[in-house]
Amino acid sequence: MGRLRTDTQLAIVCVFSTVASLAIGSFAVYRLMQGAVAVALFDAMVVLVMLGGMAYAWKTGRSVMAGNVIASLLTAGLLVVIPVYGLSFLWAFSLMIGIFLMATSRVALLLSVVLIAGIGLAPDNFADPLERTTFFAVAAQVALFSFVFAWRTSRQHRQLDVMANRDPLTHVGNRRALEREISMRAEAARREGEPAGLAVIDLDHFKDVNDRHGHDAGDQVLIDLARIVGDTMRATDSFYRYGGEEFVLVMPGTTPDGISAALDKLQAAIRARLRTADGTPVTVSIGVASLGAKDDPSQWLSRADRRLYAAKAAGRDRICIEPRDPAPAEAQAFS
C-alpha cells in the first residue's frame, strides 16, 4: 500500500484495471451464461490484458508505459467489439475518461481521436445522421473535459511532488526522495544484480563560511555546489540534500572503479569552481559505499557515512571509499 500512496500513476493503473476487470469480468460471465462464448472469451482476454499490465507496472515500476499499453489495447478492443458483437458505443465515453487518466497526454489525445473517428465514421453504428452528429459532439466534449481534468491533475501532482521531494533552497532531491531512491536501487540490486554507488558529500568547515561571510553567502555555496554536481554527474545519477551541508549522490549501474573515476572528476570540478563571494575556495569530503546484490541495503547509507568520517579524520578534502574486500582495515583515500 505504501507504493500506491507515493506513486500516483501506479495507483491509477491499479484502480482502473481492478474496477474495469470486475465490470468486464461480470459481463463475461453473463455472456457465457447466455451462450455467447466468443464474446465472453474476448471479455476474458481484455481482463487478462489489464491485470497483466497492472502486474507489470507493480513489478517493474514502469506505470506510465503500462498505462499507455492498457489504454491502447482497450481502445483497439472496443473498436473491434462494437461492430463485431454489437456492443453499445456508450462504452466509449467511460473509456475516454480512463484513457486520459492512465495514458500520457499525447497518447491519450491520439487514442481519443482514433476512438471517436472509428466509432463515428462506421456506417452501421447509428440510426440516422442526427444520432451520429450527437455522438461526435458529446464525444468531443467528454474528450475535452477529460483532457483538461487530467492535465490540471497532472500539473498539481507535479507541483506537490516538487514540494514533497525537492529541497527548496538547492532544488535537488530531499531526504524523502533519497529514501525512495535507495529502496529502488536496493531492489534493482536484489532482482537484477545491478551495482550502485552512494557518495555522502559534506562541505568542509562550512560553519566557518557562515560565521565569516553570513548565512546568505553560505546558502549560495550550497546552491553552487548543487549546480556543480548537476553539471558533472551523469544523466542516470541522482543528487539529494540529506541535511544541512551534507548531500548524497546515488550512482546506479556503477562499479567501484567507475565510482572512483567519477568522483575524482567531481572533486576536481568542485576544487576549481566552488568559491565564497570573496573568492575563498570551499572543499568537500566524500565517503563512498558500493551496493551489490548480497549487500545489506538498510546499512548502505550508514556505511558511506562512516567513510565520510574517515575522510574528515584523514584531513578533509578527500575521497574515502569503502573497501570491497573485507580483509583490509584501511579505506582507500584519493586526494
User: Which grid cell sits at 167?
Assistant: 529541497
**Contacts for 82 with CB less than 8 Å, ≥ 6 apart:** 88, 89, 91, 119, 122, 125
What positions carry a catalytic annotation? 245
Angle at 32 between CA 27 and CA 33, to 5 degrees: 100
pLDDT tens figures, 55-64: 988 887 788 8
Q: Which fold has domain 175-334?
A: Alpha-Beta Plaits (3.30.70)
Extract the residue ranges of the chain whose pLDDT is less than 50.
325-335
User: Which grid cell sits at 2?
Assistant: 505504501
Provide the β-strand partners of residue 243: 246
The pTM (predicted TM-score) of the whole model is 0.62
pLDDT at 257: 86
pLDDT at 301: 93
pLDDT at 168: 92
pLDDT at 263: 95
Exposed (0-12), middle (13-18) or buried (19+): which is 26, by Cβ within 10 Å? exposed
Q: Which of 224, 204, 237 is nearest to 319 (CA)?
A: 204
pLDDT at 333: 38
pLDDT at 164: 80
Q: How far is CA 175 from CA 67, 229, 240, 328, in A?
A: 29, 17, 7, 32
Residue 109 has phi, psi (to 5 degrees) of: -65, -45
Q: Where along the chain do its domains lie?
A: 2-165, 175-334
